Copies of this chain bind each other. A is one copy, B any other.
Amino acid sequence: MTTIEDVARLAGLSRTTVSRVINNHPYVSKGKKKQVLDAMDKLGYVPNSAARSLRNQRTGVIAVLIPRVMNPFFSQLIEILETAASEKDYQLIICQTQYSKKKELAYLNLLKTRQVDGVILTSMANEWKTIAPFLEYGPIILCNEYDEQASVPMVFIDQFEAGYSATKHLIEQGHERIAYCCGKYTSNVADAREEGFKKALAEANLPFLEEYAFRSAFQSADGKQVFYDIQEMIEKPTAIFTGSDELAAGIISEAKKKGWRIPEDLAVVGFDNQMITELMDPMITTIHQPLEEMGSKAIAVILEKIHTKNYSHKEIHQFYMNLIVRESTVARKLVSL
């Protein structure tokens, strides 16, 4: 392993001067700078990052805690965060919590061990008061999550509005029996959606029926089950609002296999505007989130926190979504193209 010492020796200069060149400090004469650069080049020298971290008390790494990488929504978020971070010369380390409180805490420990400069939580398994103590060791921000209690920056979309506008759209199509189907993992997120859903119903004087509420559906496989449950009902809903596109796709796919027509027999709204919404037949009406903007904002915000070292400060960065109407809610001939 070649060290700064080797470079200094070969260049006939001190470690300090070499260090100054590495870090682009001023006050190094042109000639010596070149000597250093040449020596570094000849030796193929690269600074040891553990030594730098130890010395500088910073790592250049940010941890992103994510429930599951395979969830397309989250993998898209990772991609965006990674791109934004790498522009700022920060590495991301991806940590899968699998919705486990224990794993989440284990990964928050990265902050304590100084393995990372900050943590981005994209979902919260623990309560805020359990997480708060980690703020002593570095910044934590929420991206795609909201918590009333949390005293940190939060980047998220208005889930209430999302639930509201999707439901309103269904009501405008003449539906009166509308089911609600949304996983409860991102706790507060799901709650806000449900509030929006309820508000739209209330405005139209429609009742919220508990038997039409499915609150533990996450993936496409769960969508299948939801469809079976609906199929068993005496008085079936004619439309359903779902918390993710895969869920919607699962319901649609299974419904079609059983001979249901979409949207005539069941109108379905997805969430996230993933690729699959345009591949399915019918194409899925969904909610589009401005993920790119959210991702860039999240990185900008956490870097700012890292630099200012003021971690405990509530900040709201709210974004707006929009409804994209496709065939799964509006009979094909009526879709505006």
Contact = CB atoms under 8 A, between A and B. Distances in A.
A260 to B, nearest CB: 12
A248 to B, nearest CB: 10
Contacts of A96: 79, 82-83, 86
Interface in A40-60: 44, 46-51, 53-54, 59
Contacts of A48: 54, 113-114
- Name the residue among A48, A69, A96, A220 with the largest chain B CB count within 10 angstroms: A69
Please give the count of copies of this chain that the complex contains: 2
A76 B72 CA distance: 10
A93 interface: yes
- Name the residue among A44, A83, A257, A276 with the largest chain B CB count within 10 angstroms: A276
Contacts of A252: 279
A91 to B, nearest CB: 6
Contacts of A95: 82, 91
A275 interface: yes
A250 interface: yes
Nearest to A2: B112
A90 to B, nearest CB: 11
B94 A220 contact: no
A279 B54 contact: no
A78 B94 contact: yes
A69 B79 contact: yes
A115 interface: yes
A27 to B, nearest CB: 26
Interface in A63-100: 68-70, 72, 75-76, 78-79, 82-83, 86, 91-96
A83 B250 CA distance: 26
Interface in A219-274: 219-220, 246, 249-250, 252-253, 256-257
Interface of A: 1, 44, 46-51, 53-54, 59, 61, 68-70, 72, 75-76, 78-79, 82-83, 86, 91-96, 109-110, 112-115, 219-220, 246, 249-250, 252-253, 256-257, 275-276, 278-281
